Chains A and B, each alone.
Chain A
Amino acid sequence: MSEKIIITENLVKRFPVGDGEFTALNNINLSFEKGEFSGIIGPSGSGKTTLLNIIGSLDSPTEGSATVLGHRISDLSHKESAFLRNMHIGFIFQVYNLLPVYTVFENVEFALILQKRSATERKKAVMQALEWVGLENMADKKPSKLSGGEGQRVAIARAMVKRPELVLADEPTANLDAKNAHAILKTMKTLNKELNTTFLFSTHDEKVMDYLNRLVRLEDGEVDKDDIVQPKYMV
């Protein structure tokens, strides 16, 4: 049996709204195993991103628990959650969030600098990550000179360069055309296969769903469906 790296138990997240509260997630009980290529799907406002943020230790549950890689998120201090993200979790965002003053190389290298890796080690790892995403010739370019697809591929390289156990991708194809979306999904699927990295997507993009092995559907903050599926596209 595979190792469970994400476990949520009776997870509830509420946000204060005016005088009352809004329940974004209600009684979520899920687990994800190592090496999964899964997605949390559902309409806008269903709680996908909130769940991803809690799993990524950027936020904490109001009730219940989320345990990621053996760490109970609500028990982590700021420093401990930063360490968890730094060492074990990669993030891919909808708007790439590349640092504009850095080159492609430096953007990817940044994650390794935070891990205090040596310059030689960093260079080797960054070039390999750029090779994975096919951008090894664009290392010196600034993000402003890249197309949307290239920018997102840099974000994938940045998330993957430290070889994390878990990659959280929040609507990674939302700003991409179909061709670029397929290209980056193939890249991620390949990395999932080759490095056995767990990928967890938050998406409502059909193209993404066509690559996933498991679809967890959220509806108004609750798990509506949790299906193992046969992906349309294989790598």
Chain B
Amino acid sequence: MKMALQMAFKNLIGAGLRTWLNVSVLSFCFIVIVFYNGFLNGWQKQGRLDAMNWEFAQGQLYHADYDPYDVFTIQDAHGSLPEGESQHLTPVLIQQATLYPNGRMNPILIKGIPLDQKVINLPIDLLAKSTADIPVFIGKRMAESAKLSEGDQVLLRWRDQYGTYDAANITIAGIFDTEVATIDQGQIWLTLDKLWKMTGLTDEATLYIADSQYQPQPISGWNFQSLNSLLKDFESAVQAERIGSMVIYLVLLGIGLLAIFDTQVLSVFRRQREIGTYIALGMTKNQVLKIFTVEGGMYSIFAGIVGMVIGAPLFYYTATQGINIGSSAEGMGVRMANIIYPAFGPGLVTGTLLVLVFSAKLVSFLPARKISKMNPVNALKGKLS
């Protein structure tokens, strides 16, 4: 094997431009595959982390009637936990409402959460400083879409526990910035005490957010949603994107491998005398076949090295500075931060390289198989047999 590696190395270096053209194409494939996978990894990692920090913590306990994807369940999905069951849980009450910014009518959700909560990053405690009658907190996306600024007063209409409409001016006491659009767009946050008072639903909640010490146990009328189940849709979206991107990889890889295949077909044809000489000098056909196959694999190793040399600065820069995708992904309905920090682990680089090496060896082996059927006398004469 050592001899095959040394000979393949010399043959490739000796082939000059032909080798470097193949290596260029393959290294481009390598960079694109690693980069895009790194982007997806970063997106997944960041989405998960943001979701934990800003929305789900370690999981959520839903009221049995609550379905976040069915707005008709929201108004009536609330209740209280039995005595002593609320340890390590933070209540959130969710109600439907209508906001009237500048005379327009916006259907929204109002969410109440305790002022002293620490389970998610939402800086609700800032509301304590406000002297307004109903101070609320909104995200920057909501502020932009409703054209609201800090200090603005806007009319809010909601229904109380009896279904009676009530309305009042609320004051935008603060605007928070988060990467998680699902706690921002189309909703306002206020203290749970205030929402209880406004709706009359004292001590009631739609869901509870669990902290890291919470031990899930069956509670009648409530369903625990683990972090993994809450992130299932997001993970599926990432997975779908990965599968979709396979088409791009296959096309790219196909182009790179076609170049190698083409080179090897030509090599076996052009280098017949060389093959004959190897055999005349005492190599077996299988040893010669191995050299040609290793040559193909070596293209991909060169491509990996060149790809890393060219790609490493790009990978490092994007992994540390992030890629600003702006708000382009918000309308796609998937959890995506404005800035994605790609994650390029050694597993990704090694895995991609292994795929390249294996597939390059395979496409080199196919044309090189002809060697095993080659008549050495004809090979020495340079006659295709």
| Residues in A lying within 8 Å of B, measured CB to CB | 53, 56, 58-59, 78-79, 82-83, 85-87, 91, 93, 95, 97, 99-102, 106, 110-111, 113-115, 158
Q: What residue in chain A is nearest B10 (Cβ atoms)?
A: A101
Enumerate 10 A-B pairs (CB-CB under 8 Å) in ascending A order: A58-B376, A59-B377, A82-B279, A82-B287, A85-B282, A86-B283, A97-B274, A100-B274, A101-B14, A113-B3
Residues of B within 8 Å of A91, CB to CB, are 280-281
**By the criterion CB–CB under 8 Å, are B285 and A58 in contact?**
no
Q: A97-B380, A101-B10 are in contact. Are A58 and B274 (CB under 8 A)?
A: no
Whether a CB of chain A sits under 8 angstroms from the CB of B168 is no
- Report A91 CB to chain B, min CB distance, Å: 5
Is there an interface contact between B283 and A82, defined as CB atoms closer than 8 Å? Answer: yes
* B377 near A86: Cβ-Cβ < 8 Å: no
| Contact, CB under 8 Å: A100 / B14 | yes
> Is A114 a contact of B10 with CB atoms below 8 Å?
no
Residue of B nearest to A170 (CB): B380
Q: Decide yes or no whether B276 CB sits under 8 A from chain A.
A: yes
Answer whether residue B48 sits at the interface, using C-beta atoms and an 8 A cutoff: no
List chain A residues, Cβ under 8 A from B375: 59
Knowing A53-B377, A99-B274 touch, does A85 contact B281 (C-beta < 8 A)? yes
Closest to A158 in B: B281
Please tell me if the beta carbons of B10 and A85 are within 8 angstroms of each other in the complex.
no
Q: Across the two chains, which residue of chain B brings its CB closest to A52?
A: B377
The answer to whether A86 touches B273 (Cβ under 8 A) is no
Bound-state CA distance A102–B11 (Å) is: 8
B245 at the interface (CB under 8 A from A): no
B282 adjacent to A99 (CB under 8 Å): no
Total number of B residues with any Cβ neighbor in A under 8 Å: 22
Q: List chain B positions with a Cβ less than 8 A from chain A.
A: 3, 10-11, 13-15, 273-274, 276-277, 279-285, 287, 375-377, 380
Instruction: Determine the distance from Cα of A111 to Cα of B156 in the docked complex, in whole angstroms.
Output: 91
Extra A-B contacts (19), CB below 8 Å, given A82-B282, A85-B280: A53-B377, A58-B279, A58-B376, A58-B377, A58-B380, A59-B375, A82-B283, A83-B282, A86-B281, A86-B282, A93-B280, A97-B277, A99-B274, A100-B14, A101-B13, A101-B14, A102-B14, A110-B281, A114-B3
Bound CA span A78–B380, Å: 17
In contact, B282 and A111 (Cβ under 8 angstroms) = yes
CB closest chain-B residue, reference A56:
B280
Q: Do A114 and B273 touch across chains, with their CB atoms under 8 A apart?
A: no
A106 CB contacts on chain B under 8 angstroms? 10
Shortest B128–chain A CB gap in Å is 78
Residues of A within 8 A of B13 (CB): 101
Give complex CA distance A198, B285 in Å.
27
Tell which of A78, A79, A102 touches B10, judged by Cβ atoms closer than 8 Å: A102
Which of A53, A59, A99 interacts with B277 by CB under 8 Å?
Answer: A99
Q: Nearest CB to that of A49 among chain B residues?
A: B377
Q: A114 contacts B14, CB within 8 Å?
A: no
A121 CA / B186 CA spacing, docked (Å):
81
Complex contacts, B283 vs chain A, CB 8 Å: 82, 86, 114
* Min C-beta distance of A157 to chain B, whole Å: 13
Question: Please, how many angstroms separate the alpha-carbon atoms of A102 and B14 in the complex?
Answer: 8
- Residues of chain B within 8 A (CB-CB) of A110 are 281
Q: Which chain B residues border A53 with CB–CB below 8 Å?
A: 377
Q: Kindly report which residue of chain A lies nearest to residue B277, judged by CB atoms.
A: A97
- With CB as the reference atom, state the residue of chain A lying closest to B274: A99
Is B284's CB under 8 angstroms from A82's CB?
A: yes
Residue of A91, A93, A99 most packed against chain B (CB within 10 A)? A99
Which residues of A have CB within 8 Å of B377? 53, 58-59
- B277 pairs with A78, CB closer than 8 A: no
Residues in B whose Cβ lies below 8 Å from that of A93: 277, 280, 380
- Name the B residues within 8 Å of A111 (CB-CB): 281-282
Q: How far is the CB of B265 from chain A (nearest CB, A)?
A: 19
Q: In the complex, which residues of chain A have a beta carbon less than 8 angstroms from the beta carbon of B276?
A: 97
Separation of A97 and B282 alpha carbons in the complex (Å): 14
Q: What chain A residues lie within 8 Å of B380 (beta carbons)? A: 58, 93, 97
Q: Which residues of A contact B281 (CB under 8 A)?
A: 85-86, 91, 110-111, 114, 158
Q: How far is the CB of A86 from chain B (nearest CB, A)?
A: 2
Given known A101-B10, A101-B11, contact A114–B277 (CB-CB < 8 A): no
Cβ of B90 to closest chain A Cβ, rounded Å: 71
Q: Give Cα A58–Cα B385 distance, bound, in whole angstroms.
A: 15
List, in ascending order, chain B residues with CB within 8 A of A101's CB.
Answer: 10-11, 13-15
Residues of A within 8 A of B273 (CB): 95, 97
- A58, A82, A85 pick with most chain B CB within 10 angstroms: A82
Shortest beta-carbon distance, A222 to chain B, in Å?
20
Tell me the minimal C-beta distance from B277 to chain A in angstroms. Answer: 4
Cα separation A56 to B277 with both chains bound (whole Å): 12
List chain A residues, Cβ under 8 A from B274. 97, 99-100
Closest partner residue, chain B, to A111 (CB atom): B281
Q: Give Cα distance in the complex from A93 to B273, angstroms.
A: 11
7 A-B pairs closest in CB distance: A86-B282, A101-B14, A97-B277, A82-B284, A85-B282, A91-B280, A58-B376
Q: Give complex CA distance A210, B133 in Å.
A: 121
A58 to B277, CA, bound (A): 11
